[in-house]
Structure 1
Amino acid sequence: MTSKNRTTRADLPLTDGGKLAARVTVLDRGCVRYVVRGPHIRGTFVLSPEHLRGGTVLPSTLRVQFGDGTDDCGYWEHRDDEPVIFGMRLHGWTDGIDPDQVSDRWFLGRYARSLRPNGVHRELTSTVRRRTEDVIRALAAHWRRLPYRHELVLAAARPQAEELAQHEAQLATRAEAEAAELRDERLRARRRVNVLTGIRRRSPLPVRPAAPALVRLPLVDRRGDRLGVISVREVAVDSGIPGTVVYEVHGARVHGRFTVGRNIYRPQPLPEGIHVAYGHARKRYERERDHEPTVNGVRLDGRWDHDTTADVTASVPAHLPAHVRLTRTTGHSAPDATASRASAVLRALALHYLARPDVEALRLAAAKAEAPRLLTETRTRLRDLRRRQAAVARRAQQHRAREQQYRALVPTSAPVAAFARAA
């Protein structure tokens, strides 16, 4: 199939009542060449169905090229017989033309320009632009009525069908992998719902009340050197924040209270790790607490959260948070000596808490207090995952269907020229 196919003639009506005399020839890949002559216009237009990634499987829009040929002539090079309208030579192309509903407004794209001999592009004048759009409407109307229009579309689709099928296959593979990940997340969320439901249904374990007796705990620094001894008394157990113990501490240049419990600031169904707050904590996320301790004469606030208890010893972790409040919203880090002693206190209290015989009962109490909130959040997430998985699975199916449709276009069929000659 070449440009030597039989040429037909047609008169194309314009909106102002004039007519264009056109010679119409079917070219390769579904392209149709229109050589037109009319008042203040002469030259060649080539209309080709656009086969685009992400577009319709069969091309549904047209690309209108100014000048002859089906090769990839650059934007900076003239084509043969580029149209001349009102003395201005057109260059480039415009695309996205819907032949069944051409816009009645200005629609020429940014690549519809005029190219001077010195290689400088310039915009079309409004008169040339309106006339060009009028001509394109006439060409699109004629192309729409061609009896072999469907064969032109197929001929344009086949050369890129294999490439577009592979593209759709890649998109489908990615969507299927994403759907599998979402399915695994749903399974984990479902297991989490089951665990949280079980925690809510479990009966509380007995918790030992606060012991009034003083306990002496040694302090050591990060190198294991002794820093003295503190006296510790339990003030409150499993009150305010469930699963916590409030300790009052005196000695070794330390005075005040600390609240110790599991790390409930991580969303595990059964809280792990350790949490120590400076002061007597009565609710979560407090900015100020009663009985905040002084270490080396410096009043401290804040907290220490740790994700595990396996690596906590009398000397590890070495450096723990120690914050000095200046105002309600400002402060700074404690001096090194104060931070070192505060770290020793935090470690000692954490180990003392973890050695309680009812530590698992306290852990369950903390879990039961957090379970309703976590259960609501997890169920909400489960619904969101279900919705997302369904949407991604539908997208994967759509890409697979498009892949098969593109692959059905790959085999060659009878040349379009035969349809053009038959018509």
Structure 2
Amino acid sequence: MPDQPTTATTATTAADRDRRSIDLTPFGVAEVWTEPEGTGAVVYHVTAPRITGAVSIRIAHARYGGSHSVSVGYGVDTYDSDHPAQWPERLDVNGIRLCGRSEISVENFASFGGPDDPHQTRRVLRTFGHYGGLAPAPPATVERACALIVALLLDFSSRPDLDELNRAAAANEARAALAQVQRKIAQLDTSIAEHQADRRRQRSRAESLSAVVESHPWTDQNKYRLPGLRNLRTR
């Protein structure tokens, strides 16, 4: 009996206008609806045989003018999150929840997950292992997930708003890079202030020690004799 899509409650708003079916041969048909995420990504909400969740696709390295690769996030990837495990709607395939992102070059769309896949997909499609670390997804999960991802990549590449998405992705990357630079500047400002304060303390200490050196009676060696040492010489 062929796989049947799992049932899910869906919205009856703009999502319905973007709802369509995508063939995942030999894994049945995926029902998807899309929405712009706001940072240059298109989020595909997916219901398919043994697949639920979301996939976020955006042009990678957009601020460098490149459209040679895309970033695929296994969930609703807002780009500014450092914790993919906390993304909403993480992609669930065969009961395995995937985690993180894959960067896929345009020329390798069709081979993603296949025998000639240069990305070693079993390590790219990751899930959390028994001890909390990332581990490769099982082969059956990889095969089904890759069928979905290839279909979504082809859909994404045919969108009429790619130029707009590229501009949005470039602006988002620039904002993220600017925020990182500003954090680095703040760290440097703090470090500089700490070093300047330490320099003032060390200079004050040096001045105090210099005053002791200049005023101590050992500058006149004829007057500076320890009685104990003098007594040792006379024994």
Q: TM-score, normalised by structure 2?
A: 0.58
Instruction: Check the 8 A contact 2:39/2:79 in 1, yes or no.
Output: no
Question: For 1:133, which of 146, 150, 161 is the aligned residue?
Answer: 146
Matches within 5 A, 1:27-46: 27-46=37-56
Instruction: Check the 8 A contact 1:30/1:154 in 2, yes or no.
Output: yes
* Superposed displacement of residue 80, structure 1: 1.6
Q: Which residue of 1 aligns with 2:171?
A: 158
Q: Which residue of 1 aligns with 2:60?
A: 50
More helix by share: 2
Q: Which runs of 5+ in 1 are unaligned?
A: 165-423
Question: For 1:65, which of 62, 69, 73 is the aligned residue?
Answer: 73
CA distance 1:76–1:11, shift in 2 (3 Å): closer
Deviation string, structure 1 residues 148-175 (Cα, Å, up to 9, x no partner): 12211122123446979xxxxxxxxxxx
Q: Which residue of 1 aligns with 2:91?
A: 83
Instruction: Check the 8 A contact 2:57/2:73 in 1, yes or no.
Output: yes
Deviation string, structure 1 residues 335-356 (Cα, Å, up to 9, x no partner): xxxxxxxxxxxxxxxxxxxxxx
CA distance 1:161–1:88, shift in 2 (3 Å): closer
Q: Equivalents in 2 of 1:79, 1:17: separation in Å?
A: 25
Letter in 1 for 2:81: C
User: What is the DSSP-based 3-state SS (H/G/I as helix, E as strand, rest coil) of the residue aligned with 1:80?
Assistant: coil
Q: Which residue of 1 aligns with 2:162?
A: 149
* Superposed displacement of residue 110, structure 1: 3.8
State which structure, 1 or 2, has the greater radius of gyration over its C-alpha atoms: 1
Q: Which residue of 1 aligns with 2:36?
A: 26
Letter in 2 for 1:81: E
CA distance 1:27–1:149, shift in 2 (3 Å): same
Deviation string, structure 1 residues 106-138 (Cα, Å, up to 9, x no partner): 443744311258523221111111111111101
Q: Equivalents in 2 of 1:100, 1:116: separation in Å?
A: 28
Q: Which residue of 1 aligns with 2:134?
A: 121
CA distance 1:138–1:99, shift in 2 (3 Å): farther
User: What is the DSSP-based 3-state SS (H/G/I as helix, E as strand, rest coil) of the residue aligned with 1:147?
Assistant: coil
CA distance 1:44–1:160, shift in 2 (3 Å): closer
Q: Equivalents in 2 of 1:109, 1:159: separation in Å?
A: 29
Q: Equivalents in 2 of 1:48, 1:113: separation in Å?
A: 19
Q: Equivalents in 2 of 1:153, 1:51: separation in Å?
A: 9
CA RMSD of aligned residues (A): 2.9
Q: Equivalents in 2 of 1:159, 1:84: separation in Å?
A: 27
Deviation string, structure 1 residues 189-248 (Cα, Å, up to 9, x no partner): xxxxxxxxxxxxxxxxxxxxxxxxxxxxxxxxxxxxxxxxxxxxxxxxxxxxxxxxxxxx
Matches within 5 A, 1:10-409: 10-16=20-26, 18-51=28-61, 57-74=65-82, 77-98=85-106, 101-103=109-111, 105=114, 106=117, 107=119, 108=121, 110-116=123-129, 119-160=132-173
Deviation string, structure 1 residues 237-265 (Cα, Å, up to 9, x no partner): xxxxxxxxxxxxxxxxxxxxxxxxxxxxx
Q: Equivalents in 2 of 1:32, 1:83: separation in Å?
A: 15
